[in-house]
A and B are shown apart, each in its own frame.
Chain A
Amino acid sequence: MNRFIWPLVLVLGLIVFLVMGLRHGDPRALPSPFIGKPAPEFELPTLKNPEVMIGTANFAGEYTLVNVWATWCVMCRAEHGFLMDLAASKSIPIYGLNWRDSRPDAIRWLGELGDPYIASAYDPQNRVGMDWGVYGAPETFLLDPEGTVVYKHLGPLDPAIWEREFLSRMQGVNQ
């Protein structure tokens, strides 16, 4: 045993510690304090008609998707086709949260690409987005029939992710 071995011992300790640190908090599993809890309540005017309100009250009773989107969001365009397919399959009601966007742009966008949503809530000021802990668009929340957040996905949806992360979490639906 010589004194020159101490740096090695010290570093091995540090590495073990850092590995534990990485395992401790998986940074990609972004803190979703909402998972397993009731979705934060909200009520917002719909995108297409400011007179009509939409909110958590509309969701209860079945599995529901809440998709956060915006016209400036490139990846939203990427997942849009899949959302259209999903809506056509009628397997789950999809609601939109139009986020930090402008109403005319958003309506034109849905006109061009099609509208997969039963309705979109209009949230230009990021009020509900803040309550729901939205990091960026697109983001998709899966709510169970009781209105509890079951899962939250960051980034665009595609059929593989849908099957792996969403369908597997929905009990007794389409299975």
Chain B
Amino acid sequence: MIPEIGQFAMILALVLAAIQFVVPLVGAYRNDVAMMGVARTAATGQFVFVAIAFGCLTYAFLTDDFSVLYVANHSQLSLPTIYKISAVWGAHEGSLLLWALVLAGWTLAVARFSAGIPEAFAARVIGVLGFLSIGFLAFMILTSNPFERLVPAAIDGADLNPLLQDPGLAIHPPLLYIGYVGFSVAFAFAIAAMLSGDLDRSWARWTRPWTTVAWLFLTLGIALGSWWAYYELGWGGWWFWDAVENASFMPWLIGTALMHSLAVTEKRGLFTSWTLLLAITAFSLSLLGTFLVRSGILVSVHAFATDPTRGFFILAFLGVVVVGALALYAWRAPSLDSDAGFALLSRETFLLLNNVLLVIATAIVMYGTLAPLIYQMMDWGKISIGEPWFNFAFLIPTIPLIVLLGMGMHAAWRTQPTGTWLDVLKLPAIIGVVLGIIVPLFVYGRISVMLAVGCIAAFWILVSSLVPVIRSLRREKGATGMTRSMLGMTVAHFGMGMFVLGVTIVSAFGVESDRALSPGTSTEVAGFEFEMRELRNVTGPNYTAIEAVVDIRKDGGFIDTVRPQKRQYLVQTSPMTEAGIRAGLDKDLFVALGDQLGNGGWSVRIQYKPLIRLIWLGCLIMAIGGLIAASDRRYRVNVREKSKAPKAREATA
């Protein structure tokens, strides 16, 4: 009964989404206030029914209702409760339902927090979001119904993929989706602005906080995924340039470009057509990512579902959304050229370069992701583009990006006098170069050109991010302090610096070594002694495991004991590696069990990973920066009041 309620709720949500799409847009076109007013009601109703459907599926999981095919395939009686909940989005159908829920949630947020935006504009935004909801709900109902029954019901389920039975991956998809789908709001704002033809700066200001919040969730989602891959896949890497990772990384790169370009559009009224294009692209790449993952067109370790019907559906939907948006763009954008100028040395120039470099970086990732497909289709044979290619190619745009970042932060809008700018930059540059050489050389004992470039760039950003904060603290009484926007930017850039430092140090000084260990023996890696004290059998709720107890010592002094496991899940019999990690800010010591060797020993992968925590910590700080920036006062004051002000000023100018 409950699953049928869920399915019924899904259909009702589709109907409401259709109303939410058609009525407000027609209302905005005819300037009919009553019809526009339907937008908020329909959006609320749509959210409620999607939430009911989601609740019903969760209930089916919690009550082990194996008469539901999706539950039978992805859960099991002895699965711990938390994973029964996360199993809801553990595979294709449920993750689509989560996607629809997140989209409805964003729509509700727009409906709730758009009081200051003109009614016709809000109606258009919500209408466009309604169209996206129609796509996803119809996709689910037609090709991927999570409530499909299994007759006769199964006695027990097939269990959730053991890879996904992990706290990190339980919350990774929701965060990622909140980010992915959040770009739909920026997209809807762009479409609404183009539909209305009213593209003044207030459009950019309304869009900014939404974009920033979506971006920060995407940042957290990607970082969490990377962290999960690090400790769960057992290889100790943190980024694999896997197609699915790239699918989430491309919207992140374009989303980052969009945030920066929106700043220019809001502050200076420039780059409007470019910003619109980025807003369309960011969301299109989210959809493309969904297509690549869900259609099985690219073979990936993450691909859970492969089904050509689904592929065609997503592709058709992607086509309608993107082609429609770009056709509108081709029609509207020519009228948007602004004649406001800016000097060569100004913040605008740096933000333009930021955008160009980020787009190049995205193009590189996209080429690397799609090239194997191109080769296969053209019958040029199979190629595989691997980590070394990405690692190298990706540095080409990102090194200048990082260097320019420190400079751009301190440049003023319109025009920046060279003298004062160099004064500000002198100190961070000197400190950056000195630390960038000293730290690798004296702390880690080695230096090379690439290493120095990475470290100098990292310290350069770290120090130059601190400059505005220090200045603000030392300012005279009465002088204006930093706005939240500025503070957010500074914090996020500081996080970027931490990230770059972590990546540079761990890729230069990380040690990975495969050794053979048996109980009572020890081995030395990177100056640390790893002794396997014992091997024992342990039992979890739905798995059994062999656990090694490994003591780590340095110069005879005891540091820690780690317990890597090799798990055998009872239903899905694939073995899983659970690494034993001694985590620290300065370094991680990582022990993972490989294969059993003949003599009672095990092959053991031991890794020394200096500063690897900075990679994820840096992402967290970036996200916090985004949060600070999005909470800036000027997004919250009555926007309608304020939006009149610039227009009045322009009229008098």
Whether B296 sits at the interface, judged by CB under 8 Å, is yes
Report Cα–Cα, A67/B277, bound state, in Å: 54
- Contact partner of A4 among B66, B273, B315, B373, CB < 8 A? B273
Q: Which of B11-19, B148-156, B550-558, B590-598 binds A?
A: B148-156
Residues of chain A having any CB pair with chain B under 8 Å: 2, 4-5, 7-8, 11-12, 15, 17-22, 24-28, 72-75, 77-78, 100
B72 is an interface residue with CB less than 8 A from chain A: yes
B284 CB contacts on chain A under 8 angstroms: 11
How many angstroms from the CA of A72 to the CA of B569 in the assembled complex? 12
Residues of A within 8 A of B333 (CB): 2, 4
Contacts of B318 in A (CB 8 A): 15
Give the residues in chain A near B315, CB-CB below 8 Å.
15, 18-19, 22
Which residues of the partner chain A approach B600 to less than 8 Å between Cβ atoms? Answer: none
Q: Would you call B639 an interface residue if the criterion is a C-beta within 8 Å of the partner chain's C-beta atoms?
A: no
Nearest chain A CB to B135 CB, angstrom units: 15
Measured between alpha carbons, how far is A22 from B312 in the docked complex, in Å?
Answer: 8
Residue interface bits B325-351, CB-to-A below 8 A is 1, else 0: 011011001100000000000000000
On chain B, the residues within 8 Å of A28 by CB distance are: 296, 306-308
Q: Looking at the complex, which one of A26, A72, A78 makes contact with B152 (CB distance below 8 Å)?
A: A78
What's the Cα separation between A96 and B323 when bound, in Å?
Answer: 51
Residue of B nearest to A126 (CB): B573
A100 adjacent to B573 (CB under 8 Å)? yes
Q: Is the CB of A74 within 8 A of B158?
A: yes
- For B295, B297, B312, B330, which residue has the most chain A Cβ atoms within 10 angstroms? B330
Taken together as a complex, chains A and B put the C-alpha atoms of A27 and B296 apart, in Å, by 6
Given A4-B334, A74-B73, A78-B150, A27 and B295 touching (CB < 8 A)?
yes
Q: B319 near A: Cβ within 8 Å?
A: yes
Q: Do A15 and B377 touch (CB < 8 A)?
A: no
Q: Are B319 and A21 in contact (CB under 8 A)?
A: no
Chain A, Cβ-Cβ closest to B150? A78
In the complex, what distance in Å separates the CA atom of A22 from the CA atom of B308? 7
Whether A21 lies near B330 (C-beta < 8 A) is no
Q: List, sorted by A's number, 29 A–B pairs whose CB atoms are closer than 8 Å.
A: A4-B273, A4-B329, A5-B330, A7-B277, A11-B284, A11-B323, A11-B326, A12-B323, A15-B319, A15-B323, A17-B377, A18-B315, A19-B315, A21-B373, A21-B377, A22-B295, A22-B311, A22-B315, A27-B295, A27-B296, A27-B297, A27-B307, A28-B296, A72-B158, A73-B158, A74-B73, A74-B154, A77-B155, A78-B150
Kindly supply a per-residue 1/0 record for chain B positions 149-167, scoring 1 wherever the CB is within 8 Å of any chain A CB and 0 otherwise: 0101011111000000000
Is there an interface contact between A7 and B152, defined as CB atoms closer than 8 Å? no
Contacts of B326 in A (CB 8 A): 7-8, 11
A73→B322 CA distance, assembly (Å): 42
Contact of A27 with B329 in the complex, beta carbons under 8 Å: no
Of A5, A11, A78, chain B has the most CB atoms within 10 Å of the CB of A11
Complex: chain A residue closest to B159, CB-CB: A72
> Inside 8 A of B154's CB, which chain A residues have their CB?
74, 77-78
Please provide the 5 A-B residue pairs with the shortest distance between their CB atoms, ordered closest to farther.
A27-B296, A8-B326, A4-B333, A74-B154, A5-B330
Kindly provide the distance from the CB of A3 to the nearest chain B CB, expressed in whole angstroms.
Answer: 8
Complex alpha-carbon distance, A27 and B308, angstroms: 6
CA distance A161 to B154 in the complex (A): 20
Chain B: how many interface residues by the 8 Å CB criterion? 41
Q: Known pairs A7-B329, A74-B157; list 17 more (Cβ under 8 Å).
A: A4-B273, A4-B333, A7-B280, A8-B323, A11-B326, A15-B315, A15-B318, A15-B322, A15-B323, A17-B377, A19-B312, A26-B308, A27-B297, A28-B306, A73-B158, A75-B158, A78-B150
Q: How far is the CA of A27 from the CA of B334 in the complex (A)?
A: 42
Residues of B within 8 A of A20 (CB): 377
Which B residues are CB-close (under 8 A) to A19?
Answer: 312, 315
Q: Which chain B positions have C-beta within 8 A of A18?
A: 291, 297, 315
User: From residue 351 to 409 of chain B, which have CB atoms closer than 8 A to chain A?
Assistant: 373-374, 376-377
What residues of chain A lie closer than 8 Å to B312, measured between beta carbons?
19, 22
Alpha-carbon separation in the docked complex, A28 to B319 (Å) = 22
* Contact of A8 with B327 in the complex, beta carbons under 8 Å: yes
Min CB distance A125 to B, Å, is 11
B570 (CB) vs chain A CBs: closest residue: A72
Choose from A11, A27, A72, A77 the contact partner of B322 (Cβ within 8 Å).
A11
Report whether B334 and A2 are in contact in the complex, using a CB–CB cutoff of 8 Å. yes
In the bound assembly, the distance between CA atoms of A4 and B277 in angstroms comes to 9
Q: Which residues of A contact B327 (CB under 8 A)?
A: 8
| Cα distance, A72 to B297, chains bound together (Å) | 30
Q: Which residues in B have their C-beta under 8 angstroms from that of A78?
A: 150, 152, 154
**Measured CA separation A66–B291 after assembly (Å):** 35
Smallest Cβ distance from B397 to chain A, in angstroms?
Answer: 19
**A69 vs chain B, min Cβ distance (A):** 14
Shortest Cβ gap from B569 to chain A (Å):
11
Report if B516 contacts A (CB, 8 A): no
A22 and B297 contact, CB distance less than 8 A: yes
In the bound complex, CA of A2 to CA of B152 (Å): 61
- Is B453 an interface residue, CB under 8 A from the partner? no
**A2 and B330 contact, Cβ closer than 8 Å, known pairs A22-B315, A77-B154, A78-B154:** yes
A99 to chain B, nearest CB (A): 10
Given A18-B297, A28-B307, A77-B154, also A4-B376 (CB < 8 A): no
